[in-house]
Amino acid sequence: MLMLLGALVTGCGAGAGDTAGSCPAAAVLEAQMDSVLSQAASAGDFSFAVERLDGRRYTFNRGSSTLQTSYESKSTSKLISAVIILRLVEQGYLALSERPQDRIVDWPIASPNPLSDMTLAQLLSFTSGLTIDPPCLGIESSAFEACVISVGTENLNNPIAPGQEFFYASSHLQVAGLMAIKARGVASWTWQEVYAEFKAQTGLFLSSSYDSPSLSNPALAGGMHLTGRDYMDFLKALKGGLLLNTASMSQLLADHTMAPMPMRFSPIFSGIGGGAGLGEDWHYGFGLWHECQSPTFNCVAGTRVSSPGALGFYPFWDRSKGYTGVVARDGAFGTLTSGINIERSVRPNVEQWAAC
């Protein structure tokens, strides 16, 4: 694939003059957005950016934050990891129907244990039956592969059959990541080589890294440091069909948690790390949420998707209105809803701006 970076840096910043053919009211709306965001509730500095269909990009920075500031990703990396793995599926290295034991020699869950039937697709949708994250996922010195084996060992007695319920946990993506590494077929490779190949193919995330808790044991579900600009460019490429083919996009954006599947643990509904949730019943695709502002999911899946993180970093894609954006920030752990609420405070203005 040709390098994409040169095609991604487009659009205008807040207060910039309108380009030919754009809405005359855009600059006025951007000034209104400045005003709303300057008063938005936030315990720390943040940057906000949104890009509409014509490529015009609005940016607001509060305090010392910019789109070039490096922030901890937490769960915003889930969507990135899912896309990287789906690209390897597209390229023929592995299949969504494969099971961990098909790629990981020492995987400890075997038949007749019901968990032996979990597939890559179920790992990407957090419906694999895994619910226990071993401590090694957060330890710098842990060996990546050995820790994934521990995921299997810790979940051996889990009574949940794959495909029966959704459970938000980091283990799903860690197992999926090791499957991808093994499928890539280079004995010396780690996730860093898989990630480097993705960056070389796309020109994306040149200022971002998988480095938490360490480079040798990165958490694929939440272990990046990244910038708002890098995430904006990623969303632009994803929206533009430059990263996945039609079949893969359909899988990414499908609702893999449709009723009657229970959402056994959702931080969006109930909160995480001591923070409050929204009390909303969002559904899940591959590494992304299907948003729904209702205590019971009654929305059209795929209309608006996102991948918020526990520190309030919030990337979003409103597919019904054609715009993408981010709230880039580092708050306290458990402030997942803070970035969402910042965006919601300015959403009416953004929707006008996107439509003009």
Place of tokens 């070039």: 68
Instruction: Report the chain's mean pLDDT, rounded to a whole number.
Output: 93
pTM here is 0.93
Indicate the residue type of 39: Q
Per-residue confidence at 353, pLDDT binned at 50, 70, 90?
A: very high
Of 125, 28, 112, 116, give the one whose Cα is nearest residue 81: 125
Question: First vs last Cα of the chain: how many Å apart?
Answer: 34
pLDDT single digits (tens) 62-110: 999 999 999 999 999 999 999 999 999 999 999 999 999 999 999 999 9
Q: Could you give the strand order of the β-sheet that contains 224-227, starting from the edge strand earlier in sequence?
A: 70-72, 224-227, 209-210
Q: What is the mean pLDDT of residues 213-232?
A: 98
CA angle 118, 120, 124 (to 5 degrees): 105
The domain over range 5-355 is classified in CATH as 3.40.710.10: yes
* Structure confidence at residue 150 (pLDDT): 98
* Structure confidence at residue 22 (pLDDT): 53
Indicate the residue type of 164: Q
For the chain, the structural domain boundaries read 5-355
pLDDT single digits (tens) 121-161: 999 999 999 999 999 999 999 999 999 999 999 999 998 99
